[in-house]
Amino acid sequence: MLVIHAGIDIGGTSVKAALLGPEGMRTGRSSPYRRPSLERLAEAVLEAMNGAGIHPDRGAAVVGICVPGRLDSTGTIVELSVNLPCLNGVRPAEIVGRCFGQGAQAAQYSPRVALLSDAVAAAIGSHHVDPSRGRLAAIVLGTGVGLAVLDGGEPVTIGARGIGHLGQLDVGVEPMPLGPDGGRGGLEGHIGLRALEARFGERIAEGLAGLDGEDPILRAMARACRIVHAIYTPDEIRLLGGVGMLLEPVLGKLEGLVRTELTGVARKGWRMSCADSPFLAAIGAAVHVGRSRV
């Protein structure tokens, strides 16, 4: 029986899907949503799957799912999702399973599922598309802000709880915004999608492209990157996610702020870049299950 490897990225504003097959990678994306109900989210998952050509009657499926939120100790239930509260207490595997269950041979093609964080999935996807030399720190900027670190292409972990929540890091930059998690001064309060919408409205791309080096957004990002250098000593920092892609016009300014009197423990010759695809997390989830024994 044909086995297909798929990735589902349940994001804060849309669902993206990727199908890893013999003919390469296919991707699909749902229409956008904002604070969806669980029913609307399930519709978006099916829409993205259809766009990527992921069908329940085309073979046995192994699906990687990434969600924005903290999983419980079992790694199967969303314990806290600030930006998608409809997921709190939910098993994402059941949502995807119901989408496969719409086929006539649903029992035969019930998917095997693995869950991983959206940041780790995006890092794996970015490394798959453009392999990084050495240690890669991926800062994923979208509705929220996440961090993943790969060493030789493999995720760096600290126990079962990941490596921390970069978006909730108090970067100490005035003004000190109140983040969606209830914490004051966090990076997400400066550059999370909701904060950018509040400041720039529908002109986020133009607003970010016009930032100068004194703007709190760039100073907050620079502080976060400098902390990442001190803790993880990466050879490369990549800014991923939809917001990360929009920082390309000011990447030089941001890198200049990071490099100015940067700690001596930072790796010599480190590099900084921005993503060029919104599908990296879905791709990474598909790659993850393609090389794992799920």
Q: Which residue has the tokens 């990442």?
A: 228
DSSP strand pairing (135-141 vs 236-240) = parallel
Name the average pLDDT for the chain: 90
Task: Give the lowest-confidence range in 45-59, 105-119, 146-160, 210-224.
Answer: 105-119
User: Tokens standing for 70?
Assistant: 């903290």
Query: What confidence tens digit (pLDDT) does each residue in 69-81 have?
Result: 788 888 889 998 8
Task: Report the alpha-carbon angle 148-13-26, nearest 5.
Answer: 70
Asked which of 42-46, 107-111, 135-139, 163-167 is least confident by mean pLDDT, the reply is 107-111
The pLDDT of residue 219: 98
163 or 137, which is more confident? 137
Which domains occur in the chain, in start order?
Answer: 3-120+280-291 (3.30.420.40), 125-274 (3.30.420.40)
pLDDT of residue 265: 97
Burial class (CB in 10 A: 0-12, 13-18, 19+), 4: buried
Give pLDDT tens digits for 171-188: 999 999 888 888 899 999
The per-residue pLDDT for range 91-133, each reduced to its tens digit, is 998 888 888 765 444 445 567 888 888 899 999 999 999 999 8
**Does the pLDDT value for residue 2 go beyond 90?**
no
Closest CA to 180 of 194, 191, 162, 169: 194
